[in-house]
Amino acid sequence: MLTNGVRALQALGDPTRRAIFEALPQAPRSVGELAALVDVTSSAVSQHLRVLRDARLVMVRADGTRRLYSLDPRGLSDARDYLEQFWPSALAAYAAALGDARADARPVTED
C-alpha cells in the first residue's frame, strides 16, 4: 500500500502535473486559467487535477459557477514527512563524505 507521501511524489513526477502544482502557490486558479498557463486542454488539466487531488496536493472550492484550485497543505505535509525519514542518513552520508574529502586533502608530510 502506498503512503500519502509516496502518492504525492508520484503525482509530481509528471511534468504537466508539476507545472500545474507550481502555478498554484500564487493564487487559487480555475481549470481554464491553469490550461492557459500550462498550454494544454482544459480536459487534460481536469484529469491532472484529479490525480493531484487524489494525492491531496490540491483542493477545490466553489466560487459561483467556477471551481478554484489551490494547494492542499495536508499533501505537502505528507510529502515532507515521507522525505524527512531519509534526512538522518543523508546527513550522515554527507558528513562521512566531508570527512573523506578532508582526509584526502591533508598534505602528506615526510618524516
* Single-letter code of the amino acid located at 97: A
Residue 67 has pLDDT above 80, yes or no: yes
The yes-or-no verdict on residue 13 having pLDDT over 70 is yes
Q: d(Cα 109, Cα 95) in Å, to the nearest integer? A: 25
- List the one residue out of 72, 68, 71, 75 whose CA is nearest residue 10: 75
Query: In the predicted model, what is the mean pLDDT of residues 78-102?
Result: 88
pLDDT at 94: 87
The values of phi and psi at residue 62, to 5°, are -80, 140
Please determine, for residue 104, whether its predicted confidence score (pLDDT) is greater than 90: no
Q: Exposure of 54 by Cβ count < 10 A (0-12 exposed, 13-18 middle, 19+ buried)?
A: middle
Query: What are the tens digits of pLDDT across the range 34-65?
Result: 999 999 999 999 999 999 999 999 999 999 99
Domain spans of the chain?
Answer: 4-103
- CATH number assigned to the domain covering 4-103: 1.10.10.10
Q: Are 12 and 18 in contact (CB under 8 A)?
A: yes
C-alpha cell at 79: 510529502
AA identity, residue 79: A
